[in-house]
Structure 1
């Protein structure tokens, strides 16, 4: 029987298209190999963004720059000279009042103002109830009470609040005679009161403030 007489020949070619494909281009792929082949969409794309290593290095560089800038700013600011606090110049006469509260001095006993080291100073001894009670000293110009107490050789210096809430005084003990003294600033004038009768620091600080008020009035 020739080819024309074989009815299944056309049906065979129709039912087995893979044979045609294989003959035209090569061996056919089975279904298992097609399932095992990874999809291109699932493969990572290395060019889609920076790596984790690059991100860590970039973060470290940014933090380092911020730290260096902060340190540099600190040293620049600390190297700038601080502007000293200026106080108004005293326009009132540098003269001690004859009486301050219960304390009085001999009108003829006050020393004349003396000048030295760029400062002018005046002092006098005041009595209370007939006894020498305090020595009051005024000097100008002054601006730093802590430095004043250091120059006056005062030990155990502390800050003392004034009773009237008008500020603070610096109080300490003299290294020369162990007397207690307190000083306040009135404008650019330092007013120091040294106690001779074991007065409290509070009393001496308030008396120094009152003396400055009386002298400036």
Structure 2
């Protein structure tokens, strides 16, 4: 991952990062809804922890920890499967089993560190809100930069053979630097669909996770082609 021209990404010829991703979603809509629902289930323990305020603190903490343990491998599987769909594969049980065997351990090994950094920056931004303005702004800017970089993390995991945690962090930073146009488009598209998901709870559960994954992986394919 030292250079974008040597990522090993197979060039794709979709109709643009967003339109092409939506076309793939529409072509396998039932399977994509299943992927989104499956990924959303990894958030169920934390949702219960936050919604059921009457539960003992220890139980709520255990539920939140369960989501932390589940969401990273679930994210790896989601991105591996949408990557296969973008390559023209028809998703099915065999593809899902193969993804489960092949990517869940890699997802934990590669994505745990980047997401821990992101969570740490979120906590730092919250804690810094009531401190000196310079500290608060610095924390918020750091969170913004890392959040933008994060759109590349999972795609790099599934598209770059032998990805490592440090390699993903470095590769994402290089993509932001070298492909600012694509990065901004991807970040804006992700934000739009996240807002749609917040406004329509069913959309957040049934469609948004797969749509975001499709857009971001397709975005990386276009970055590998040199598009901007």
Same-fold call, TM cutoff 0.5: no
Higher alpha-carbon Rg: 1
**More helix per residue:** 2
Q: Which has the higher contact order (CA 8 A, sep 6+)?
A: 2
Q: Normalising by structure 2, report the TM-score.
A: 0.22
Q: Normalising by structure 1, report the TM-score.
A: 0.23
